[in-house]
Chains A and B, each alone.
Chain A
């Protein structure tokens, strides 16, 4: 955490709402990304991210300052998304409203858009094969580079349970990788066809 963030946190603990808004601005993307990867739907991810910040705001006084703040925040998001996942076992992906996945491209060609949608869809299908906690463990490991100890702390699991969940999840991902690829092959351009098609 930067010195600014520490200061905002301190001010937020003293009841300054604008300081907490700065925290929201800083961490919106990692929190939203976790929710989106967990739930697979941009609208649900937005609601979950908003709920995460509300819960963090309500429980700010209970935050242990020896612990990393982003880890604590992501832990709240992960627990909320796991609960949501358990409530609805079959997430539905709306292909029309996929969120912006990177720094906005000034003029993405149709080919790039199609390719991005297909890749997102593949990733979605792949992650859908995992149970909520296994999925959270994989997301924290590969998107946030969390150590097994950090994942254990975030998901309220033991380190050995995290290891076993990661192992199981990797196997599922590996076994389903080819299936996801074959269901969504990237379109090959025909000879003499315009790259825009």
Chain B
């Protein structure tokens, strides 16, 4: 005995035209196999429709908000690392480009001469600065010298601390509106 299209009709009963419903009812009276399928499907469907909505544990929204804050912090740290890597990459590329440009535009002998010349002029500059400082120290009172040294040391320390603070803030809070 053929159970088609009745099997399909049993399972898609919701959208069945009236004629098909009648034919199905007639078939079901004479076919225990299709009747069994229908009983099982109706019972399963009733069970599906009866099951209530499951609810999460209390405090779901608070957990979401906490999760949002944690994810944001993570995203900001990631962003800070990306910016750092971007700057580092750009610096490397610049140095590489300068290196390549120098290699292309100058011969090795010219390059060596330029290096030696730069080193010797740097040495002369250092000597000049040393002489200027010594002259300054010998010609000014000791108290003024001490004050200047303390001022310079404190300023440098403050700048270093500010630099560390900026690094820490960029890492932990991130950079907004980029």
Q: Which residues of A pack against B, CB within 8 Å?
A: 17, 21, 24-25, 28-30, 32-33, 36-37, 42, 45-46, 49-50, 53-54, 57, 99-102, 119-120, 122-123, 126, 138, 142-143, 163, 166-167, 170-171, 173-175, 177-178, 181
Contact = CB atoms under 8 A, between A and B. Distances in A.
A30 B60 CA distance: 13
A49 B56 contact: yes
A151 B44 CA distance: 20
Contacts of B41: 170-171, 173-174, 177
Interface SS majority for chain A: helix
B17 interface: no
Contacts of B57: 42, 46, 99-100
- Which 8 pairs of residues, A with B, have the shortest CB-CB distance? A174-B41, A142-B48, A177-B44, A32-B56, A102-B52, A33-B53, A174-B40, A36-B54
A32 B47 contact: no
Contacts of B45: 142, 170, 173
Contacts of A167: 8, 11-12
B67 A29 contact: no
5 contacts: A24-B61, A25-B61, A46-B60, A54-B68, A123-B48
A138 B57 CA distance: 25
A30 B47 contact: no
A138 B55 CA distance: 19
B71 interface: yes
Nearest to B12: A167
Given A167-B12, A175-B40, A49 B60 contact: yes
Given A25-B61, A50-B64, A122 B48 contact: no
Contacts of A57: 68
Nearest to B38: A174
B167 interface: no
Contact of B56 (A29, A170, A173, A177): A29
